[in-house]
Chain A
């Protein structure tokens, strides 16, 4: 009896497994797994989407992880349309295989597309796509996203996706770019709290920050492409741009960086953030007061400045970064999350108008420094 039951159960399991063949099967050969997606906007306000995906014939190619930097291992296809969805549909038509967004690593949106005020619309339509991987990194390109994607090549011995992840994670660890994921940005654009912050990128030849050659230590570079700094999005448009140095300070204020190297002219030091910044808000008065306390350990690596001087320099940088944000009302530091807790309902929170209050707020930054050797 026991055996009969086991055999019956085994038969059922086998039949269930066989059922999987009854539906449409997505073979890997039928799919074009987009690794990078670029979004541009042309003169006529059409959206252009460019996708980079591995070729099937990519020899032992970067696509299969076999260890080639052969650029022919990847195809780049572009299409345009009135709306994002229209452009994506056109891209699907001209791509020989089915565009699959489940392995997407990076989304590059051109600065022009963001400035057109269509960022939220683009991300909303993108997230509505079937099998969209919403943890993909997102970056704003100071130039054409399509061109940038064409220049983005795999490194020797790694797949393009893995190479990109390694590069971005390393830059994030150093604090020179923020952790900007598609879902975070998309939620942040529409949330009741702080504004989202997105990493910047550009081609070396397009970089507006001058000819960055050779790139500084804090700039993540991958051949012809650069990943550096950040921008804050307010009301769907770029409000503030930070270079890599300001981004490190902004990340420190957000509590997103643990260690970073700090350079000022001939002085340089290795900074370790001992604890997350202690932030206290006083919103009882007409003008909100934000008190920030930073605990840092400083290891001087070169120059004549001592640890306390570095503390003062970091404080001055933090004030400058906050003031830059305050001038536009954009607030990426997470102060809004804290302030919202003082209100009982959303109605009261919205009527408080955080962004206006933030513009006229007062700051008190205290930096506590411990010298390490």
Chain B
């Protein structure tokens, strides 16, 4: 039986897709408190997560397979990320004039699509991302060019929106999202894995996330009101009030295309870690478990913005600790083998 596997190149694409979508969700859609400094939080978050990237490269492939607890934790983390993306997608659909669609059915349908992609293994997810790459860049270019006249770079200031504590919180949340996405490289094909591939994937995701953050902030001034609900956040980004109706199509295509790809990427990563934890499981069962866990997370309000921001904050230190333990264990084993 062919197990779920992922090539270095696909892992790189997957991590880019997850970083862009999750950082944007945490810092912009759910992060009204970061106001227009989410771009700065992301830059700082990327700098903080560099040691994690280096740790991931250091970890031996065999080491992760022997550590079931780490694998289960990582699979839950990815399933949770998939649930958070599902929740955003469901909300976006209701925003897009389909308010009569039951969220339960909608999330189930989207996760079935993810299951199909998981079962197609590396080629499925790899092609899904590849399909979005070129049209996605083209759509992004159309959106940016058609809105050039409405952009005001001065709205990115004052740089530290509210205070430095918010900036630190945002940076750690961003680092949590980046480091979680980098974990996919640990289970990729080690023969193909090079530090360069990891850095390219991470940096692409970071650059895309930064573009999204800057785009959404450069178009709307900082708002004085205390609470901006999610619908308003989405409206400010999607409709913006100034974006012409003609640009709505590329924005909507990119929005849904990007999020569905990110959801599939997270589900795939979750499934692959489940299979690493329980080697005897076949692809179908691993995929079903991953999708089911995401479904439960998304429909029991566990992936709502408040909990998600706390999870993003905690995930960074947790991942750091787990990775350090894995590196130390890996070294011990190497020493034992040499002895």
Question: Measuring CB to CB, which residues of chain A are less than 8 angstroms from any residue of chain B?
Answer: 23-24, 127-128, 130-131, 134-135, 181-184, 186-188, 190-193, 334, 337-338, 340-341, 343-349
Tell me whether A192 and B162 are in contact (CB under 8 A). Answer: no
CA distance A130 to B243 in the complex (A): 18
Tell me whether B235 and A190 are in contact (CB under 8 A). Answer: no
CA distance A360 to B241 in the complex (A): 34
- What class of interface size applies to chain B in its complex with A? 20 to 34
**Which of B71-79, B151-159, B183-191 is found at the contact surface with chain A?**
B151-159
Tell me whether B161 and A183 are in contact (CB under 8 A). Answer: no
Determine whether B200 belongs to the interface, using a CB cutoff of 8 Å to chain A. Answer: no
* Contacting residues of chain B (155-189) with chain A, CB-CB under 8 angstroms: 155, 157-164
27 pairs, A vs B, C-beta closer than 8 Å = A127-B232, A130-B99, A134-B235, A134-B239, A134-B241, A135-B239, A135-B242, A135-B245, A182-B241, A183-B239, A184-B242, A186-B241, A187-B221, A187-B223, A187-B241, A190-B224, A191-B222, A193-B154, A334-B154, A340-B158, A341-B154, A344-B159, A344-B160, A345-B158, A345-B159, A346-B158, A348-B158
Tell me whether B157 and A341 are in contact (CB under 8 A). Answer: yes
Q: Give the 8 A-B CB pairs with smallest separation, nearest first.
A: A183-B241, A191-B221, A337-B154, A134-B241, A341-B157, A345-B160, A343-B158, A190-B224
Smallest CB-CB separation from B221: which chain A residue? A191
Residues from chain A with a CB closer than 8 A to the CB of B97 are: 130-131
Tell me whether B222 and A192 are in contact (CB under 8 A). Answer: yes
Determine whether B240 belongs to the interface, using a CB cutoff of 8 Å to chain A. Answer: yes
* Main secondary structure on B side of the interface with A: loop
* Contacting residues of chain B (213-232) with chain A, CB-CB under 8 angstroms: 220-225, 231-232
Residues from chain A with a CB closer than 8 A to the CB of B152 are: 337
Tell me whether B155 and A193 are in contact (CB under 8 A). Answer: yes
Smallest CB-CB separation from A136: which chain B residue? B241
Determine whether B237 belongs to the interface, using a CB cutoff of 8 Å to chain A. Answer: no
Residues from chain B with a CB closer than 8 A to the CB of A348 are: 158
Tell me whether B223 and A344 are in contact (CB under 8 A). Answer: no
Rounded to whole Å, the gap between the CB of A189 and the closest CB of chain B is 9
Rounded to whole Å, the gap between the CB of A121 and the closest CB of chain B is 12
CA distance A115 to B143 in the complex (A): 38
Residues from chain A with a CB closer than 8 A to the CB of B225 are: 190
Smallest CB-CB separation from A183: which chain B residue? B241
CA distance A129 to B130 in the complex (A): 37
CA distance A100 to B236 in the complex (A): 20
Of A24, A131, A347, most B-chain CB atoms within 10 Å: A347
Residues from chain A with a CB closer than 8 A to the CB of B144 are: none
Across the interface, A347 reaches (CB within 8 A) one of B154, B159, B162, B243, namely: B162
0/1 string, B84-111, CB within 8 A of A gives 1: 0000000000000111110000000000
CA distance A336 to B172 in the complex (A): 31
Rounded to whole Å, the gap between the CB of A130 and the closest CB of chain B is 7
Tell me whether B158 and A184 are in contact (CB under 8 A). Answer: no
CA distance A184 to B101 in the complex (A): 31
CA distance A343 to B154 in the complex (A): 12
Rounded to whole Å, the gap between the CB of A193 and the closest CB of chain B is 5
Smallest CB-CB separation from B162: which chain A residue? A346
CA distance A347 to B37 in the complex (A): 14
Tell me whether B158 and A191 are in contact (CB under 8 A). Answer: no
Rounded to whole Å, the gap between the CB of B300 and the closest CB of chain A is 26
Tell me whether B240 and A183 are in contact (CB under 8 A). Answer: yes
0/1 string, B238-251, CB within 8 A of A gives 1: 01111111000000
* Contacting residues of chain B (238-284) with chain A, CB-CB under 8 angstroms: 239-245
Across the interface, A344 reaches (CB within 8 A) one of B158, B244, B245, namely: B158
Residues from chain B with a CB closer than 8 A to the CB of A181 are: 241-242
Q: A23-B100, A130-B99, A183-B239 are in contact. Are A346 and B161 (CB under 8 A)?
A: yes
Of A130, A338, A345, most B-chain CB atoms within 10 Å: A345
